[in-house]
A and B are shown apart, each in its own frame.
Chain A
């Protein structure tokens, strides 16, 4: 019998306890993975957002529109490749009015040229351009409300009062992770012609795609400069900057989740450390025998640490194994389908999986430190004298 088999026998000696500890570590790893995935999914919007797209708004607030003629002026700014304009429509589903989704009035000629990461089948796009009441919706929104191409749908206006009737012309899919697949876009002209005189020809914001993402800053400044002396000033920033500021608004919650994800690791360490310490206490006499046989304290320390590392690793493995069906298949799918506006992409990042496993092993090491130190201090005579 060599040292390794002795270590394995030790782990298997109190099977119930080992199984419980592995489960405890697994649950901790599962919640860690869940929290990190939520954080990652939230940040996806910023990290994967386009840098080569700029948005131009009213300088003071998003609730005030820009005059439509600003669109032509933005197009003239050097470096701007394509441009389009959009109004936030803010309407609701007539019966399921609590389910938020983005709906916008857009320029049908240019919108999908600028937003080339929203992919519409060419035939559906052509049909949409011909149909004034047509709308293009995201794949997950279609699923959420059970809408199909050709359906007639009604939305209840909030900012633009009244009942608005649309026909679904097509469904887009995302070519980029950060794209919200629960949007609803329709002809700006259809909205504009129904508005009273005073509210006509106003646009919410202008989005431009530019030649070179690196020049985003200077092109943005050039756009704002063009309107500096006009009646309404503008602010321009890249889509990525905009998204990260939106995320910043939720930063307090994110910080809280961040802290909680660390706290769960502490709980895990307590469970693991507790088990190892109990093992050491119970085996004090055996360690005494080993010492008397001539084994060094170093051997005993490596027993203790080896056991803890193994249990930590097993727990990490089981936790990760549980995470994929629970977090990715279960929660992830549900969130992407039902809360696509908030979580367009909810998957466990590879880095988190690897990280969780490494952390499980590392914490196994840390949890074993105190019990191992105690075991190393044992004196053979004392240990033998002690009662179990």
Chain B
């Protein structure tokens, strides 16, 4: 076999060309990895929001909390359905919440966007133990106080600790705390007292959704049958995980399609770049190839050697691109989720799988780009090449 050091030295001799082709591939890998990280970030933010042993109940035909409405008597029926876990004192573990949005000014003053506001019962922290206050204190039940998710807090005017905003005229709502929720989408929400918010939004006696904790995830089917068989209730039950996956489906798809499309276009460009470089390398080294052939290296060996060289370029580029994309992990991203019409904040999330996929993509580009030049190198006849 032709030693790899031969290829490495060749790359080192033509530094500028190597750098140019590798940079092209680096950019492709960077863009591909970043967009995959972005959709993974959104997917995770939504998916971790759901728990396996929790079910969400909405009004039939709705897959978003915003448009759903369930009246109080129905909430009682849901809570006492079979399969719902009970506390030691026998009360079911469940929360009935209101979901609304408010149009608020962003903190950069550039515009306004919708913020999700959740009306929560006083025992909500028992139901979601992952929620923890990082600043201030919990809101008091029955008052105009709210707590704000960590991600959304700095992004809107009037949503920092100590700020206030109006939901009704001359009734300022005060931000008394900032909470984190293990990176879930709750961090993009404002939470206030259920009854106060129902009053403010004209939804007396109605909630948007009911979440119940089940004895175990396997009890879901029984619970679903009980809820959905009574047609008068007009309800749908969904496992919480599935509910959140559906919420992010549209936006995740949009980002992935956009990212992959761009990466494919880019890669055609970068591949052509690699091909040009390799053709030049082959042309310049015609005599060398002739010598190699005369020394007894076979045609497949030559093909392999040139493919290896172009793979090396691709891997150097891909490695640099992947490293840079890891840097994006520190950036958080805010955009409108199409399902809720509201702002959601998430991070570029690197996973070994994404990095691996992007590197693989870069490598394949290198091999494809080097394929025809390698064939040309193999076609070199030793006698003619050495005569030149």
Contacts and interface: CB of A to CB of B under 8 A. Distances in A.
A161 B276 contact: no
Contacts of A282: 280, 284
Contacts of B60: 161
B262 interface: yes
Contacts of A273: 20
B209 interface: no
Contact of B102 (A61, A271, A274, A275): A61
A249 B113 CA distance: 6
B304 to A, nearest CB: 22
Contact of A161 (B23, B61, B255, B269): B61
Interface stretch (A72-80, A103-111, A124-132, A258-266): A258-266
A64 interface: yes
Contact of A24 (B100, B234, B273, B280): B273
A20 B59 CA distance: 58
Contacts of B279: 16-17, 20
A61 B27 contact: no
B6 interface: no
Contacts of B343: 249
Contact of B113 (A23, A64, A245): A245
A187 interface: no
A43 interface: no
B255 to A, nearest CB: 8
B90 interface: no
A268 B265 CA distance: 12
Interface stretch (A25-33, A211-219, A358-366): A25-33
B114 interface: yes
Nearest to B264: A31
Given A157-B61, A274-B17, A277-B17, A64 B265 contact: no
A345 B60 CA distance: 35
Interface string A43-57: 000000000000001
A270 B266 CA distance: 12
Contacts of B269: 24, 27-28, 31, 264, 267-268, 271
Contacts of B320: none
B21 A260 contact: no
B336 A249 contact: yes
B306 to A, nearest CB: 16
A228 B272 CA distance: 64
B351 interface: no
Contact of B67 (A90, A245, A275): A90
Contacts of B20: 270-271, 273-274, 277
B336 A250 contact: yes
B377 interface: no
A57 B102 CA distance: 12
B202 interface: yes
A10 B57 CA distance: 72
A278 B275 CA distance: 13
B202 A64 contact: yes
Contacts of A24: 269, 272-273, 276
Contacts of B106: 248
Among B17, B24, B272, residue most surrounded by chain A Cβ atoms (within 10 Å)? B272
Contacts of B16: 274, 277
B143 to A, nearest CB: 18
B333 interface: yes
B272 to A, nearest CB: 4
12 contacts: A21-B276, A30-B265, A60-B168, A62-B114, A161-B61, A244-B111, A248-B110, A260-B31, A267-B270, A270-B20, A274-B273, A277-B16
Given A249-B114, A274-B273, 5 more contacts: A24-B272, A57-B103, A248-B110, A251-B335, A277-B20
